[in-house]
Amino acid sequence: MADSITSIVVPLDESSLSETALPVADELATALGASILCMTAGWGSTTEELAEYLTAKAATLQAPHSTAVTPDTFPATAIAEAAGDGSLVVMATHGRSGVGKALLGSVAEDLLKRSDRPVVLVGPRGHSGPSLAGGVLGMTTDGSPVSAMILPRVAHLASTLGLTARVLSVHAAGGSPLGGAEREVVDRAMESAVAFLTAEGVPATAEALMGADAAEVVARWAADNHAALLAMSTHGRSGLARTALGSVTVKTVHDAPCPVLVQRSAG
């Protein structure tokens, strides 16, 4: 089972986009019994101005919270250092050009290279989804061991939030799974994931989706099913290009109507 989450780190940069992560973080923190750290790396304004900004934004939160300004530090480094054991990062991003022409520079992909802590990415449409609690979580798999790395984290969040899980794979029109694995391998991986989640007390089923573009198919599924959360694993190499469903995480974050949980594998 994944370690318990006791702290949620929310990077802010004085933009309205970055602030879309706050309601998501607040709901997660309340459900998990965690505190929230609102932080910035301190570029472009004085420390005093940034401290005032963070204090004002943190005051809108229901969960216990604190603030931190880390001056003259590369943003991804500052976030990685703040996100220690028991931490979950929740951050907004445009989800383009390698996850992000926004938010403290282009740091989401750099963060995933530096840290194996889980990250919830809120894309441009990701804050418009339903409330997290009691909703549906879609977890993607291509049958690889990497795609299964996120299972303990999914089980922990789903059980805490009362989510129903759907284990998703994407197949071409002829039935071949996208990502290169054999159909039997993907089927076994889906069955194993469902069994794991069920054993952890999470209601789970498997669903094979059809389409040529995995990100488009997954994002459309999330919209059609009013998903509260999507979950994917990534190698954390070359930005977010090498992911559990091929090269789809970046586009999924951009197109999804809900936040996307990303976990970098250790391998």
Q: Burial of 1 by CB count in 10 Å (0-12 exposed, 13-18 middle, 19+ buried)? A: exposed
Confidence at 242, pLDDT banded by 50, 70, 90:
very low
pLDDT at residue 155 tops 80: yes
Q: Which helix (H) or strand (E) holds 108?
A: helix 108-114
Query: pTM for the complete prediction?
Result: 0.89
Q: How far is CA 183 from CA 28, 138, 143, 226, in A?
A: 35, 20, 9, 27
- Output the CA torsion sign for 80, 84, 88, 90: negative
Digit-coded pLDDT (tens) for 167-215: 999 998 878 888 777 899 999 999 999 999 999 999 999 999 999 888 8
Q: Which helix (H) or strand (E) holds 90?
A: strand 87-92
Domains of the chain: 7-122 (3.40.50.620), 136-264 (3.40.50.620)
Digit-coded pLDDT (tens) for 87-139: 999 999 865 443 333 343 367 777 777 777 789 999 888 776 668 888 999 99
pLDDT at residue 246 tops 70: no
Digit-coded pLDDT (tens) for 12-30: 988 888 899 999 999 999 9
Task: Using a pLDDT cut of 90, give the percent of the chain over it.
Answer: 51
pLDDT at residue 78 tops 50: yes
